[in-house]
A and B are shown apart, each in its own frame.
Chain A
Amino acid sequence: MINAILVFNNHGKPRLVRFYQHLAEEVQQQIIRETFHLVLKRDDHICNFLECGSLFGGSDYKLIYRHYATLYFVFCVDSSESELGILDLIQVFVETLDKCFENVCELDLIFHMDKVHHILQEVVIGGMVLETNMNEIVAQVEAQSKLEKAEGGLSAAPSRAVSAVKNINLPEIPRNINIGDINIKVPNLSQFM
């Protein structure tokens, strides 16, 4: 079983977080931080496997990671998965992203986080590997985006959303969002552009 899939950049900023068992948000962030520190220490020429001790709450777990340009792709798996198999799977996942986004870069992951998740859902569901054939994955993803387009897509939503927001007094949802934090993210993004 795959326990978690984490993607973060060279500075430890999470870009994709997918836990297959529920953990509180603080714990998740803690794990991401610790994983980042573990992975960062290792240079590129040593092996891609890492025993993470009790980080995920069991000794059976292992981190398998790959480093692509500015991003780390980390899979946390237990002993029923083959190490080389997972390395291969990371490669497949990244290549699929590359195909779906045409030359994927970190920004794609930031701006299309939902799409990345949808692609991931075609590869791994519930911690188990669903499909390893890239063509099949890409075909399914494309069929779904076609369906989305036929419906008008979410891309149409922002414009509608803007008008909707204009028409209402401050909506309920944004009230709970800490806007300061969002602003902090912006300079961070520009660093990697």
Chain B
Amino acid sequence: QDNIAVKANAVCKLTYLQMLGYDISWAAFNIIEVMSASKFTFKRIGYLAASQCFHEGTDVIMLTTNQIRKDLSSPNQYDTGVALTGLSCFVTPDLARDLANDIMTLMSHTKPYIRKKAVLIMYKVFLKYPESLRPAFPRLKEKLEDPDPGVQSAAVNVICELARRNPKNYLSLAPLFFKLMTSSTNNWVLIKIIKLFGALTPLEPRLGKKLIEPLTNLIHRFLISLSSGMPNHSASIQLCVQKLRILIEDSDQNLKYLGLLAMSKILKTHPKSVQSHKDLILQCLDDKDESIRLRALDLLYGMVSKKNLMEIVKKLMIHVDKAEGTTYRDELLTKIIDICSQSNYQYITNFEWYISILVELTRLEGTRHGHLIAAQMLDVAIRVKAIRKFAVSQMAMLLDNAHLIASNTQRNGICEVLYAAAWICGEFSEHLEEANQTLEAMLRPKVTTLPGHIQAVYVQNMVKLYASILQQKEQSGEKEAAQEITQLMIERLPQFVQSADLEVQERASCILQLIKYIQKLQIKEVPVAEEVIALFAGELNPVAPKAQKKVPVPEGLDLDAWINEPPSDSESEDEKPKTIFHDEEQRHSRHRQPEIDEEELARRREARKQEQANNPFYIKSSPSPQKRYQDTPGVEHIPVVQIDLSVPLKVPGMPMSDQYVKLEEERRHKQKLEKDKKKKKQKKEKRGKHHRHNSLHTESEEDIAPAHHVDIITEEMPENALPSDEDDKDPNDPYKALDIDLDKPLADSEKLPVQRHRNVETLKSPDSEAPLVEKKSKKPKKKEKKHKEKERDKGKKKEKEKKVIEEEEEKKVILQDLHYVRNCCYGPYLLLCSSVTYDIQGNLQNDSQVTVSVIFENKSTSFLKSMELNVLDSLNTKMLRPEGSSVHDGIPVPFQLPPGISNEAQFVFTLQSIVMAQKLKGTLSFIVKNDEGSTHEKLDFKLHFSCASYLITTPCYSDAFAKLLESGDLHMSSIKVDGISISFQHLLAKICFHHHFSVVERVDSCASMYSRSIQGHHVCLLVKKGENSVSIDGKCNDSTLLSNLLDEMKETLSKC
């Protein structure tokens, strides 16, 4: 509608609807209309709506660029403020790139209100457009010392956010922050600074010492944030922990929570000092607040030791029983497992206890972590050899009671443990006492209700069981029994053959056939057990999760090469082959075991034996477990049957871990006594007789020796695996991009793009000679310097420029015209500067056009308007004018310039030939408006198109380069420049930068370089550096272009 007030009102209502969950993106265009209203009231509503619903995917967002820029430079500070606020919410990479410079300018706005907003927005800009960080950083640093506290805190805020991700780049700011910390009174700033130091101290230990004094002054107020940044100093840690204890004992829940949180941070660095407060933490577990309980749990994780593990886990188990709400219970469960399994089961002294804990956990209903328990069971059973017998007996019991676990609910996650149980029973069937019973349990019809992947494991492991039973029976000569068991299998297997799950079906039918064949042999009374058991010979080794990745690629194997030529038509998009492949892969991984060939196994066994021989902690596979049982009183009561009777009301056969706790205690007690005795003995007869104990002493620093000598098999890694820890890093981390060294001086190429351009480079090569330091200075200053430099360097331009300066003196008007030529971008690069509007994009596709970006800066106190730029076209180079205008018409500049403002406009030129450098005369006419009235003014200038500006930096590989040189259709020319003193490296950089070349190859003081012109000329250079001179041999399709280029290069180099 025409009425903007109506529209604004509607948009305002839409914002409300958006809050209620309705998508209002369809109104994006209307929102933009309201944003561009001239009245603040409406503008504000528009920006609010935009900030709520615009995002990177909103396509109309690029229409806002100019509107936002206009608002940013509005004389009304609230217009600017509203635009900044809006921008903070919907800034996109394009917007960030285009507006970075404007926001930079606002950082030194006269109003602190704008300054602080601009500073905060810069962080968002950095995130979206990391290239802006380096140019903007000096100014950001300046803002740390801003007179306004608000701006100061904003700057601290931004730097903290930056430093949190990449602290090492901000170490150099430490002294500045130190000063701020001691002088500031603003709590917010202090908190932020302390957080920042928290990130910095790990990198610079000296900082910690320095911090102690001021921190102790602040300690009462900032204890909480302090702990995160605590220096590495034991006295202060002690103090800190003491204070935290007081906090945790406080009745205020918030303080309690924060105390625990801080405690956990200290725990990471100083576990010892926290461990003494175990009582307190355990108390917190009883708290009614879930947040506090979770924090306490976290703390416990770090506090366990061999001594207290059982006690802590026992307490946790009680909580598991009491816990209401599945989330908390699940959390408890994972924590128990985490605590026990941390650092390779370091704290577990009795694995029987651990297995029984795991079995107990399976009684939990409705937990989502069945697979976690299953994984633990598998892991322990595989890696702790001594425990296998016990584990198998427990698992057999689980299988026997499978109905209790599985029947509760189908969706129950806990049935995952059956997967582990079945596998363990099958794999280690030699330890099974009642194999028949277990096999029958696995063949129950009820099993078919389990999820497919579990059934598959069932089927597979049935055969393993069957094989071992068969062997047993045959050895004892019970042929009848052997045939019986075969019959049982044949009877029951068909229920799996009918399974809907393909995997189960396939395995079952395969095995059914096998067993039928066995039955035939049995009838002929051929002994088969040996052969059947051979199916499953060998042992599985645990493989480290990263092992696969670390297998080095064998030499000569190119993984990227096609094995077969890819089909040319669209067949490759067909999904079918893919799924088949996937299936196969899965099957492979499951069937892996029987497929391992004997030789490989033998080799592995040999390797492992050797490893074991070298491992002092490894006890040769002597029947040690049984022996140990005899040593420790009470353990022989373990037999499963007994427990079966003792807890008939519980799930039958579920052992109580408490028993083990008691047993363990007894064992420890006994051990202690023994040791005391031994000590006495040792006094008498220096050398103890008990070799076993000797070995125990060496093994653990603590007094408790593990009940089993546990061989925790280390996970296998492939031979000659490359040790690399960096493979976990996420390359997509958005903050990674901000990891930029800020201390390096800014290079020429790094400056904020002005308006539309990503790659603005100066046209005149002498101009860009400005030393690095100058570039670092503020933007306006830089321009001034450039301006002067231009004057100095450009002989031909001098007169014109002088005229300008005269003007400045007379009328206090100076317009600076900086000519930027962007090297034209083609192809994919074009997409990168996507903010270039459509018409320009089209232009750039053309290979005979260059875009000239001109920055206009108004240095006078008057208002400039109606600017018009005109260029006297040459035959070769013409300015692209709108259709219908004559060659003599100028192009109006699409903006007006208030005093002190700069802006950029672009003009497109068409070229016929690019082999020659070009100079164009031009005029800028404008109207100066001030209090006295308006006058018409003119300013003449010259545009210089050097040959280098037609070149595009194009990378080239050395082989392609060599081919190009061999092709022989290139013209050659060479120059020599004397009196070069700069380093070769520097020299190459200069050529690359000013003349848009890229280095192909560099050998000592010799380098080959390559570039391509916009019209596709290849330019190859061979640069050699002698004692004091440089010679450049060039080859190019066009001899004129080459000689012109070399001339330009000579000019550049002679200035070195």
Contacts and interface: CB of A to CB of B under 8 A. Distances in A.
| A and B: interacting chains | yes
Interface of A: 1, 14-18, 20, 22, 24-26, 28-29, 42, 45-51, 80, 82-85, 87, 113-114, 117-118, 121, 125-133, 136, 140, 143-144, 147-148, 151-154, 156-158, 160-161, 164-165, 168, 171, 173-174, 176-178, 181, 185
A143 B30 CA distance: 27
B56 A126 contact: no
A25 B22 contact: yes
29 contacts: A14-B19, A14-B21, A17-B52, A22-B57, A22-B90, A24-B23, A25-B18, A26-B21, A47-B253, A47-B257, A49-B254, A80-B164, A83-B257, A84-B254, A84-B258, A117-B15, A118-B44, A125-B88, A127-B88, A128-B154, A129-B153, A143-B78, A147-B78, A152-B39, A154-B8, A161-B5, A171-B6, A176-B27, A177-B22
B78 A87 contact: no
B22 A130 contact: no
Nearest to B195: A80
Interface in B46-101: 48, 52, 54-57, 76, 78, 82, 84-85, 88-90
A114 B12 contact: yes
A164 B161 contact: no
Q: Please name the 7 residue pairs, one residue from A and one from B, whose CB atoms are nearest each other, closest first.
A: A126-B88, A22-B55, A47-B253, A46-B289, A29-B21, A157-B5, A47-B257
Contacts of B5: 154, 156-157, 160-161, 164
Interface in B1-40: 1, 3, 5-6, 8-10, 12, 14-23, 26-27, 30, 39-40
A95 B400 CA distance: 65
A160 B6 CA distance: 7
Contact of B45 (A114, A130, A143, A156): A114
Interface stretch (B117-125, B371-379, B989-997): B117-125
Contacts of A151: 39-41
B9 A154 contact: yes
B19 A16 contact: yes
Contacts of A156: 5
Given A25-B23, A82-B224, A160-B5, A173 B254 contact: no
Contacts of B123: 126, 128
A82 B48 CA distance: 28
Nearest to B116: A130
A133 B152 CA distance: 14
A25 B21 contact: yes
| Chain B interface size range | 35 or more
A161 B9 CA distance: 8
B150 interface: yes
B461 interface: no
Contact of B89 (A24, A126, A165, A185): A126
Nearest to B287: A46
B191 interface: yes
A98 B257 CA distance: 29
A4 B865 CA distance: 44
Nearest to A147: B40
B126 to A, nearest CB: 12
B113 interface: yes
B120 A130 contact: yes
B256 interface: yes
Nearest to B124: A126
Contacts of B17: 177
Contacts of A121: 48, 82, 85
Nearest to A23: B55
B20 A14 contact: yes
B288 interface: yes
Contact of B30 (A114, A173, A181): A173
Given A173-B10, A177-B17, A114 B48 contact: yes
Contacts of A46: 253, 288-289, 291-292
Contacts of B646: none
Contacts of B6: 157, 160-161, 164-165, 171
A128 B150 CA distance: 12
A87 B292 CA distance: 17
B253 A45 contact: yes
Contacts of B158: 128
B267 to A, nearest CB: 16
A47 B254 contact: yes
Given A126-B123, A130-B154, 19 more contacts: A1-B161, A15-B19, A16-B19, A17-B19, A29-B21, A47-B292, A85-B188, A121-B85, A126-B124, A127-B88, A128-B161, A130-B116, A151-B41, A157-B9, A160-B5, A160-B6, A164-B6, A171-B1, A177-B17
Nearest to B57: A22
Contacts of A85: 187-188, 191
